[in-house]
Structure 1
Amino acid sequence: MWCQWEVVVQKFTVFLSGLLLLFLLPDWTESVEDTVDINTLARIIDFFEKNYKRVDTDGHPRQYATAINVPKDQCQQNFNLNTFLTQENAVDVKNAITDETNALYQGSELIAAGTRKVVISKKKQYNMHSESLLLNPADNSPMSKLLNKRKEDSCSVFYTFESPCVDTCLDATGSHNIIDGLKKWKEHDGIKAFVFKDFWKFDIKKDLQTAFKQIAAHVPLFRCVSENECYACNGEGNTPIDAHCLPPKEI
């Protein structure tokens, strides 16, 4: 009699476990689907490079950054180039970010920035970096305003041509750091991707493993180097930054 009762209890336990899984499965499936498609991400970054990239008259590329907030299907496998960022004019974007007195474009689904020249005196001036222009001040930045335009079923991608610099953008104690802006972005629902292509030339020998983990702690980090080559950098928690997202080690 006791054995029969034990069998009944075991079957009931299995039934409850299956029922719980049935209730949890839709949420789990949604979380798996709500990630950027890596091949689509490569196409998006290639679109940025072809339409907004800053290039000197001698052909030398210059730093710029851009961000989008679009319907989430634009970041998945059914990406359609014909309906992508149709409200933005590429010439207007490039003209705006090339003007170093402002260096900022704010559109319907896209924002972009070059580098802004800030003159303190005749002998002292500096360039405000494009990432900082888009992500600061965190509560009222161009990025926060862009995210507020579409709060549901969205995909937000932030792309910077050169990786955020260690001494300014990723210095948590500095006045121009982007960390607070990333924290604010983390609160936004939907697909997210922070992407870079090249390494900031003055940071090649610095500890980018530690620096980049500051980004990955808040939003997924990627490196895209061509129209068909992107890498997930990882770096969340105790996971190291993937080698594809770090400068090659010196031999």
Structure 2
Amino acid sequence: MKFTVFLSGLLLLFLLPDWTESVEDTVDIKTLARIINFFEKNYKRVDTDGHPRQYATAINVPKDQCQQNFNLNTFLTQEKAVNVKNAITDETNALYQGEELIAAGTKKQKKYNMHSESLLLNPADISPMSNLLNKRKDGCSVFYTFESPCVNTCLNLSSSHNIINALEKWKEHDGIKAFVFKDFWKFDIKKDLQTAFKQIVAHVPLFRCVSENECYACKGEGNTPIDAHCLPPKEITELTAVTFTSFP
């Protein structure tokens, strides 16, 4: 009996460090809201008429910057907001690469605009994101996209511009990870985002932040469904479906 108790205690000692690390190495949800609010205040793309436009950013910062002792005074001090905004609003390049932050707008091509998520995450092995992650192996990495990744391209493995391969690479990075979005890509509202978003969750935790005080963990691991806060309201989805049917 004593031998059994000793082994159980010994096993607990071996397991405890891993368990403790997994609890600590998660983003603080209130801090995440403050980080996303910082992005929105400093880097958000807005047309002259006030209409917001798509952009994405990613950071790799010391771990404590994503936990409760977040300090705005020491956050991204090497990045000048004006330089970031100038770079991502230039649609011939649309890319900024700094020390702890990368950002992208949309890049004009002959037949289409390259999405900001793809600009930051592709090619997976030599992308701006992979270069950023290599600078700090165990830092807190947060990827934020104003509108959710599009189903037909970003979350489609058949597309040459998909971001799934990059998410697989990101999964290997030590430290805190968070993939965040705010709004839904307007052409995807009536699509199966429950299934689409699970492709993200399979590699990194997914969050939705809608204000400086309001973020949600989207969950979705394994058989767990994506949280309702991270999906379009049912009535909006149904209304959009009717509208698209009425006006082909």
CA distance in 2, matches of 1:92, 1:71: 22
Secondary structure at the aligned position of 1:160 is classed as strand
Deviation at 1:124, TM superposition (A): 4.9
**Alpha-carbon distance, 1:26 to partner:** 1.9
Give ranges in structure 1 of 5+ residues lacking alignment. 1-9, 118-122
Task: Note the aligned Cα RMSD (angstroms).
Answer: 1.2
Query: For 1:119-169, what per-residue CA distance to the aligned partner results, in whole angstroms no more than 9, with x for missing partners?
Result: xxxx95210000000000000000000000001x31000000000000111
Name 1:195's counterpart in structure 2: 180
Gaps of 5+ in 2: 237-248
Structure 1 SS opposite 2:235:
coil
Deviations 1:55-94 (A, max 9, x none): 0000000000000000000000000000000000000000
Pick which of 22-31 and 163-172 moved more.
22-31
Deviations 1:204-249 (A, max 9, x none): 0000000000000000000000001000001111111000000000
From 79, 97, 107, the equivalent of 1:106 is 97
Q: What is the rounded CA distance, in whole Å, between the counterparts of 1:235 and 1:22 in structure 2?
A: 30
Paired residue for 1:134? 120
CA distance in 1, matches of 2:235, 2:14: 51
Separation in 2, partners of 1:223, 1:135: 19
TM-score between the two structures when normalised by the length of structure 1: 0.92
Report how many aligned residue pairs link the two structures.
Answer: 236
- 1:140 alignment partner, SS class: coil
Measured in 2, the distance between the counterparts of 1:33 and 1:235 equals 20
Structure 1 residues 184-223: aligned runs within 5 Å: 184-223=169-208
Q: CA 1:50 to 1:92, structure 2 compared with 1: closer, same or farther past 3 Å?
A: same
**Residue 19 of structure 1: CA displacement?**
1.8
- Provide the identity percentage: 91
**Which protein is bigger by CA-based radius of gyration?**
1
Between the aligned partners of 1:127 and 1:26, the Cα distance in structure 2 is 47
- Stretches of 4+ aligned residues off by more than 6 angstroms: none
- The whole-number CA distance in structure 1 between the counterparts of 2:197 and 2:15 is 33
Matches of 1:165 and 1:24, distance apart in 2: 40
- Judged with a 3 Å threshold, the aligned counterparts in structure 2 of structure 1 residues 115 and 77 are, in CA distance, closer, same or farther, namely same
1:138 counterpart SS class: coil
Deviation of 1:36 after TM superposition, in Å, equals 0.3
| CA distance in structure 2 between the partners assigned to 1:154 and 1:249 by the alignment | 37
Looking at structure 1, the residues matched to 114 and 139 of structure 2 have their Cα atoms a distance apart, in angstroms, of 29
- SS of the residue corresponding to residue 234 of structure 2 reads coil
| Residue in structure 1 matched with residue 39 of structure 2 by the alignment | 48
Q: Look up the SS of the partner of 1:95 in the other structure.
A: helix
In the aligned structure 2, how far is the partner of 1:69 from the partner of 1:30?
19
TM-score by length of 2: 0.93
In structure 2, distance between residues paired with 1:103 and 1:96 = 6
Secondary structure of the residue aligned to 2:112 is: strand
Within 5 Å, give how 1:44-193 maps onto structure 2. 44-117=35-108, 124-151=110-137, 153-193=138-178
SS in 1 for 2:150: coil
> What secondary structure is seen at the aligned counterpart in 1 of 2:229?
helix
